[in-house]
Structure 1
Amino acid sequence: MAYRGTVKPNYNSDPQKDAEILYKAMKGFGTDEKAILELLTTRSNAQRQQIKAAYKNLHGKDLADALKSELDGKFEKLIVGLLAPPISYDVTELRNAIKGQGTDEKVLIEILASRTPTQVKEIISAYKQDYDKSLEGDITGDCSGSFQNMLVVLLQASRQQGVNDGTIKSDAEALFAAGEKKFGTDEDQFITILGNRSADHLRRVFEEYKKLSGHEIEESIQRETSGSLREVLLAVVKCARSVPGYFAESLNNAMSGVGTDDHTLTRIMVSRSEVDLLDIRAEFKKKYSVSLYSRIKSETSGDYSKTLLLLCGGDDA
């Protein structure tokens, strides 16, 4: 399968030389932000790990800590995010979403709805290793009701493989009976089917559902559920249809309305830059008739903006 990320390895780079460039960029009076952002956006995540190791060997300091002391605000968060291995980045985001006052449900939904079962298992294991706590335990301690139940199902990461032709019709009928057809909603049916079937299978179920009900399943979820449960079910449906489409919509939402949701913008650009950002760009252009690049350019500024635009990897104008 062709590589769909925007950030690629730089095969001419040398971790020790890169570490020295970063050291010089932070040494003395003032910081050379341009040197930092240009270097880190033109190295793959695996190469950034080698640079971190080289920096520690040469200077006895952690590179992320050194950068934190020199940078600030959203630019700092973006640069430090690029230094984290992908699973560690997800784990830190989930931990921050749970601890402290209130819960950032948007982060829990986005990560657990969009990652593959293998990635979810790796996240659970890394979370346990980093915090000596169970991710499921922390989530159930922080969330409740049907929303909690859906997140727990997603954490089991046990979606069936492929398509089961024999259950497409019965799954669609069960969803129809659980929502549109009855007074009140049988939320458990939605949780069980949407949380346990493969994306390929669900797309077929959605087609069947449309024949039965006369409209898309998203419309039923909007009508039949509310709050965080509605958000997580919609995220799962959108990811089953198209993960890049889901992220294109999330990026648009992050840059719409009053002020920009920099946390979401940073998280998606960091976590998808070596996965499917080319596809997200294509979906964004298709959905909103404007390039992701030009939208980021108009909604952000400074070194933060420059870094995001380099991660974006080009303008689909």
Structure 2
Amino acid sequence: MAMSGGQPVPSLTQEILGHLGLASKTAAWGTLGTLRTCLNFSVDKDVQRLLRAIAGPGVDRSTIVDVLTNRSREQRQLISRTFQERTQQDLLKSLQAALSGDLERLVVALLQPAAQVDARELKTALQASSGPAKDVATEILATRAPAQLQECLAAYKHDFQVEVEEDIKGETCGMLRDLLLALAKGSREGYAGIIDYNLAEQDVQALQQPAGPCSEGTWVIILTQRNLEHLRRVFELYRQRTGHELEEAVQTRFHGDSQVALLGLASVIRNTPLYFAERLHRALQESEPNYQALMRILVSRSETDLLSIRAEFKKKFGKSLYSSLQDAVRGDCRSALLALCRAEDL
């Protein structure tokens, strides 16, 4: 068993087994996230710990990290409300005043409602001039559950006084604009357990049509409206019929931001945890780690599927995400990112 900070770190297998063993005791353990509802939660104790951490002669960063990375987002929201009631101070503003740099940004992401964090990331992505930065918009719109997406879009309108569709129209163009607008509608079909073989064949034929404006619209409709199980069958049928993966057609037929967005969406459809594992690996391989990407993914997936992402990361790259973070990440936010990742995968 690996060690972290002098404490034994459970393996991924042990953690999943532990999760399964407790699944019948509480619905809060019903995900493959690394961060779950704390069962011995005392909001008053947490408020006191945080108050002492920021009120002393020196800021106790380790206590702040320990509290915030061991509570669910719902529990963190309760801590914030209780802190306000007890002290007449805003916890987020108090922590922002006490911290700086990447750790401050990570604490903001942990304490704010998920929809507000997503809305801010989406706004930044749409305003970015570079294609890779705009790709974050596809990530958020394509990977959030329907209810999460609706909350994000409502937060976007509330915080920025504009509908996200208006910003998409103003900041993007061409097929990327059409793709993002379609994703923002959140009209993807749910999987009803029925396989429509005829529709799958029709979709494969439609995707094989010669390139042109009409075919671009067909690609957008199919990839943003069909349920994921159906699309995985379409991908397999496409390979069988053409001898090529769908992604090869994307690389041949599309260019620039449209190609990047389509490739990202195809990756999400095939295997969402693997998609995030690859993005984390890319963020860690840069000359200076992309802390914004690391924070966005680890925070947003910590209560949903980070265990699955860790497993895909180890399988694809031959090294655990935990070790990769240990080797690449420096600075104040290192301990918090490792805490969200949670454990070594042996």
Smaller-chain TM-score bracket = over 0.9
Equivalent of residue 150 in structure 2, options 116, 121, 125: 121
- 1:167 maps to 199
Measure, in 2, the Cα distance between the counterparts of 1:168 and 1:101: 37
- 2:69 maps to 41
Q: Which moved more, 1:97-106 or 1:224-233?
A: 97-106
Map 1:193-212 to 2 at 5 A.
193-212=222-241
Map 1:235-274 to 2 at 5 A.
235-274=264-303
- Per-residue CA deviation, residues 255-285 of structure 1 (Å, 9 max, x unaligned), is 1132111111110000000010000000001
For the residue of structure 1 that corresponds to 2:209, the secondary structure is helix
1:284 and 2:313 correspond: yes
For the residue of structure 1 that corresponds to 2:125, the secondary structure is helix
Q: Residues 64 and 101 of structure 1: is their aligned pair in 2 closer, same or farther, counting only changes over 3 Å?
A: farther
- 2:98 maps to 70
Measure, in 2, the Cα distance between the counterparts of 1:139 and 1:80: 25
Measure, in 1, the Cα distance between the counterparts of 2:310 and 2:125: 27
Task: Return the offset for 1:100.
Answer: 7.8
Structure 2: runs of 5 or more not aligned? 1-22, 24-29
Q: Residues 164 and 119 of structure 1: is their aligned pair in 2 closer, same or farther, counting only changes over 3 Å?
A: farther
Letter in 1 for 2:75: Q
Task: Return the offset for 1:123.
Answer: 1.7
Measure, in 1, the Cα distance between the counterparts of 2:31 and 2:146: 20
- 1:303 maps to 332
Measure, in 2, the Cα distance between the counterparts of 1:120 and 1:21: 34
Equivalent of residue 120 in structure 2, options 92, 97, 101: 92
TM-score by length of 2: 0.86
Structure 1: runs of 5 or more not aligned? none
Task: Return the offset for 1:19.
Answer: 1.2
1:219 and 2:219 correspond: no
Q: Which moved more, 1:191-200 or 1:160-169?
A: 160-169
Measure, in 2, the Cα distance between the counterparts of 1:102 and 1:137: 19
Asked if structure 1 preserves the Cα contact closer than 8 Å seen for 2:126 and 2:172, the reply is: no
Asked if structure 2 preserves the Cα contact closer than 8 Å seen for 1:6 and 1:278, the reply is: yes
Measure, in 1, the Cα distance between the counterparts of 2:228 and 2:129: 34
Asked if structure 1 preserves the Cα contact closer than 8 Å seen for 2:277 and 2:313, the reply is: yes
1:26 and 2:85 correspond: no
Task: Return the offset for 1:188.
Answer: 2.0
TM-score by length of 1: 0.93
Measure, in 2, the Cα distance between the counterparts of 1:100 and 1:171: 33
Superposition RMSD on alpha carbons, in Å? 1.9
Letter in 2 for 1:275: T
Asked if structure 2 preserves the Cα contact closer than 8 Å seen for 1:221 and 1:233, the reply is: yes
Measure, in 2, the Cα distance between the counterparts of 1:191 and 1:6: 34
Measure, in 2, the Cα distance between the counterparts of 1:29 and 1:95: 37
Asked if structure 2 preserves the Cα contact closer than 8 Å seen for 1:176 and 1:212, the reply is: no
- Per-residue CA deviation, residues 19-68 of structure 1 (Å, 9 max, x unaligned), is 12111111132200011001111111111001000111112121111111
Asked if structure 2 preserves the Cα contact closer than 8 Å seen for 1:185 and 1:224, the reply is: no
Asked if structure 2 preserves the Cα contact closer than 8 Å seen for 1:178 and 1:189, the reply is: no
Q: Residues 217 and 55 of structure 1: is their aligned pair in 2 closer, same or farther, counting only changes over 3 Å?
A: same
Task: Return the offset for 1:234.
Answer: 1.2
Measure, in 1, the Cα distance between the counterparts of 2:210 and 2:296: 35
For the residue of structure 1 that corresponds to 2:65, the secondary structure is helix
Task: Return the offset for 1:206.
Answer: 0.4
- Per-residue CA deviation, residues 145-166 of structure 1 (Å, 9 max, x unaligned), is 1110110011111112334322
Task: Return the offset for 1:101.
Answer: 7.2
Letter in 2 for 1:263: Q
For the residue of structure 2 that corresponds to 1:302, the secondary structure is coil
Task: Return the offset for 1:219.
Answer: 1.4
- 1:109 maps to 138
Q: Which moved more, 1:10-19 or 1:51-60?
A: 10-19
- Per-residue CA deviation, residues 96-146 of structure 1 (Å, 9 max, x unaligned), is 334587784032121012122332222222222333321111221111111
